[in-house]
């Protein structure tokens, strides 16, 4: 999965963000399993996936916070 910047993530819909989060979480899980069985080909891949997942989570949480402040 290609690295996406925060600006690009903010352009996605809520459904696309949830799908992105699911894919990254699944990929991270699979990478952790493979890491336990053999050394990874690219050791930075795990860190990059965690950071990308954090970016997606941040955008999702920003939107939730914005929705709450608009309804209050």
Where do the domains of the chain lie?
A: 41-66
| Phi, psi dihedrals of residue 53, rounded to the nearest 5° | -65, -40
Crossing angle of helices 14-37/44-71, nearest 10°? 150
Q: Can you give the pLDDT at residue 6?
A: 81
Please check the confidence at residue 5 and state whether its pLDDT lies above 90: no
pLDDT digits (tens, 9 = 90+) for 7-56: 899 999 999 999 999 999 999 999 999 999 998 888 899 999 999 999 99
Rounded to 5°, the CA angle 6-23-5 comes to 15
Token couple for 70: 């608009």
């Amino acid at each position: 999965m290609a690295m996406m910047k925060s600006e690009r993530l903010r352009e996605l819909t809520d459904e696309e963000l949830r799908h992105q989060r699911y894919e990254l979480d699944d990929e991270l899980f699979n990478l952790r399993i493979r890491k336990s069985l053999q050394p990874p080909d690219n050791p930075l891949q795990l860190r990059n996936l965690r950071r990308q997942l954090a970016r997606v989570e941040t955008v999702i949480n920003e939107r939730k916070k914005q929705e709450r402040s608009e309804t209050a």
